[in-house]
Amino acid sequence: MTIAIYPGSFDPITNGHLDIATRAAKLFEKLVIGVYKTPTKHPLFTPEERVELTKQAIVGLPNVEVKSFTGLTIDFAKKVNAQVMVRGLRMTADFEREFDMAMMHKKLLPELELVCLMATLKYQFLSSSLLKEVASLGGNIDDLVPQPVAVALRKKFIVKLDSERGA
């Protein structure tokens, strides 16, 4: 059985992430989405919230599961017996970063193969950071994220705005 991992912070998962996961699920017998618990950026959602939102997003994908992890991605790959790591590429800057990470992963775990999927054209611009910024300012993000994520983002920013206003 070919097992692939799709690691990331998923803060939150977007339709771009979901598109990559859906396409990867067709290529591999099992896909494990690895939600990194301690990203270097300051996450909006807790690890538990990110895992739950990701689980809700992949409901229609029977060969996909979601797990959280800490530490090195290669250790997570070993833990779930993955032979392949899936990454999405949006633009040239993504390629440069992914290339550097791929070379390090290859050094640390030579048997782990990397498969990069090009982002679908309509999601080329989409990032979780940009999405959170638009949502924080009240922009409509409904067609950019799974419905549970849109609801969770609205709740987060309503609470944040209320606390800033002293409500």
Q: Would you please indicate which residues are annotated as catalytic (active-site) residues? A: 17, 41, 90, 128
Dig out the tokens for 57 from the structure.
Answer: 């997003």
DSSP designation for 145? S
Question: E-strand spans in the chain?
Answer: 3-8, 30-36, 64-69, 84-89, 113-118
Backbone angles phi, psi at 147, to 5 degrees: -55, -45
Alpha-carbon distances of 33 from 36, 56, 92, 127, rounded to whole Å: 9, 12, 24, 17
Alpha-carbon gap, residue 17 to 127, rounded angstroms:
9
From first CA to last CA, the distance across the chain in angstroms is: 54
